[in-house]
Structure 1
Amino acid sequence: MEAELAALAASGATTLVGLMVSESWSQARERVVRFFGRGGADGTADEELRLSEEELVAARASEDELAMADIEAEWRMRLRRALQADPGAAEELRSLLAELAPGAGSGTSVTVNNSVNGVVRNGPVIQGQQISHLTFHSSRSVPPGQSAG
C-alpha cells in the first residue's frame, strides 16, 4: 500500500506542478486548496501554492531544471504526508487528478490513418497529435537508384 500511495503522490505532484504554469491553474488551485484543507488541516496550503507558483514561473523563465524538480519534490512529499495521515484521502486525490489532469474530460480523440503509395521519399516521417520543437537536418544526397539530375 505504501508504494501505491507514493506513486499516487508522485503523480499528484507532477500534475500539480504542470497545472501551476497552465491557464487552468486558477480554477485547479481552489480544488487543491480544498483537498489540503479537508478535515480541518492547517490553512497554509493556499499561501504555499501561491509561493510555489511564483517560484515555478521564475524557475521556468530561467530554465532552472533543479529548482523545478525541487518544487515538484516538495509537493510530492506534502501529498505523501497527507495520504499517510488520512488513507481515505487517496480516493479523493485520484478523483481530483482525474478531473485536473491535462486533457481530462475534453472528450476529444483523434484518429490518424496514413497511406503512402507509389512514391519513394527519403526523409523523416512523424505522426503524432502534439509535436513541438522539432529540428531536421538533412543532407541532399541522392538515394540509390536515382540520378542527380
Structure 2
Amino acid sequence: MEAELVALAAAGASALVQQMVGEAWEQTRGRVAAFLARRSGRDVTAIDGELEEARADLVDAEASGDPDARAEALAEWRGRMRRALRNDPRAAQELRALLAELGDREPATRQVVETHNHISGGTYYSTVIQAGTVDRGDRGGTQPG
C-alpha cells in the first residue's frame, strides 16, 4: 500500500480514537460506521456496535489508568482503516472529507514516522527519552518578536 494511504489510515485512526473520548462521538460514530460498512460488506449496525464497544473499552481503560489503552485502540483502528482503503482505493477521498469535517484539515500531507529503538547494555541505568515533537509549550500569550 502506498505511503500516502498508510498515512491517511493512521490519520483516520487517530481522529477516530480522539473522537471516542470527545463530546462529538455520537455524530462521528455513525459516519465512521457507514464508511467502514461500505468497504467491508458488513452491516452498518454491527460496525456501529463494535465502535461503541471499542469506545466504552477505551473510556473504561483510560479511567482505570491503563497507559496502553489509547495505543492499542489506535493500532486496531489503523488496521481497519488500512483494510478499508485497500479494499476500495476510492475510499481515500471519502476518508479525507470525513477527516476535514472532524477538524483534521490536511491528513494526506501529514508525515507519519515510526521509530523502533532497542536499548541494551551493562549494569548501569540511565534515562532514555524519545519524543515525536518537542516545542516550547508557550501556547498562550504573546509570541516572541
| TM-score relative to the length of structure 2 | 0.68
Aligned counterpart for 1:50 among listed residues 52, 55, 63: 52
Structure 1 CA distance for aligned equivalents of residues 64 and 95 of structure 2:
31
CA pair 126-80 structure 1, distance change in 2 beyond 3 A? closer
- Range that drifts further, 91-100 or 66-75: 66-75
CA pair 39-67 structure 1, distance change in 2 beyond 3 A? closer
The 5 A counterparts of 1:1-149 are 2-38=2-38, 41-43=41-43, 44-101=46-103, 127-129=138-140
Structure 1 gaps, min length 5: 105-124, 130-149
Q: Match of 1:69, as an amino acid?
A: A
Per the alignment, residue 116 of structure 2 pairs with none
| TM-score relative to the length of structure 1 | 0.66
Structure 2 CA distance for aligned equivalents of residues 59 and 4 of structure 1:
31
Displacement of 1:63 after TM fit? 2.0
CA pair 126-8 structure 1, distance change in 2 beyond 3 A? closer
CA pair 60-8 structure 1, distance change in 2 beyond 3 A? same
Larger RCO: 1 or 2 (CA < 8 Å, sep 6+) = 2
CA pair 69-126 structure 1, distance change in 2 beyond 3 A? closer
Q: Which runs of 4+ in 1 moved over 3 A?
A: none
Paired positions, count: 109
SS at match of 2:139: coil
Give percent identity, aligned residues only.
51
Deviations 1:92-147 (A, max 9, x none): 00000010137x7xxxxxxxxxxxxxxxxxxxx96415xxxxxxxxxxxxxxxxxx
Q: State the superposition RMSD in angstroms.
A: 2.2
8 Å Cα contact 2:58/2:69 also seen in 1: yes
